[in-house]
């Protein structure tokens, strides 16, 4: 079985490192980290991910703009994007996932089992 390639984009290096470590420990994923939204498109072109986990709020570039850039690229437009966000309404806190702008999101703080569940839902075997 080939490993699924996951690009994790978040300005907090502790989050990208934690996800990389935990996802790769399963043996099912190859993970690349990116900590600047502005470098995400280039990283995605090089890495060719099966899925992108993308922070919504980053200091250099909004996650929505990054996602739009991925969608405009012919080689990446079909790559699923799942947003990571701490900006969740109080009534949404009980749900580990939801949708923002039609895209799935995962609420921070992240639960690794929940992240893996969303990845498996988005990338069936």
State pLDDT tens for residues 80-106: 999 998 876 444 444 445 565 667 888
State pLDDT tens for residues 58-85: 999 999 999 999 999 999 999 999 999 8
Element (H, E) at 9: strand 4-9
Q: CATH number of the domain at 95, please.
A: 3.40.50.2300
Burial 4-26 (b: 16+ CB within 10 A, else e): bbbbbbbbeeebbebbbebbeee
What's the rounded mean pLDDT across residues 30-39?
A: 97
Dist CA 2 CA 106 (whole Å):
25
Domain carrying residue 44: 4-122
What is the reported pTM? 0.89
Residues in the chain: 125
Dist CA 40 CA 7 (whole Å):
9
Grade residue 46 by pLDDT with cuts at 50, 70 and 90: very high
Domain count for the chain: 1
Burial class (CB in 10 A: 0-12, 13-18, 19+), 1: exposed
């Amino acid at each position: 079985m080939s490993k699924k390639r996951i690009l994790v984009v978040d300005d907090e290096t502790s989050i990208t490192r934690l996800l990389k470590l935990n996802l790769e420990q399963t043996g099912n994923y190859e993970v690349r980290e990116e900590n600047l939204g502005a470098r995400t498109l280039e990283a995605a072109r090089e890495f060719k991910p099966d899925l992108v986990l993308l922070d919504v709020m980053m200091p250099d570039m909004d996650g929505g703009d990054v996602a739009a850039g991925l969608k405009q690229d012919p080689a990446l437009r079909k790559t699923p994007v799942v947003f990571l966000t701490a900006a969740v309404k109080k009534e949404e806190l009980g749900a580990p996932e939801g949708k923002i702008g039609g895209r799935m999101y995962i609420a921070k703080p992240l639960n690794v089992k929940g992240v893996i569940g969303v990845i498996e839902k988005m990338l069936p075997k």
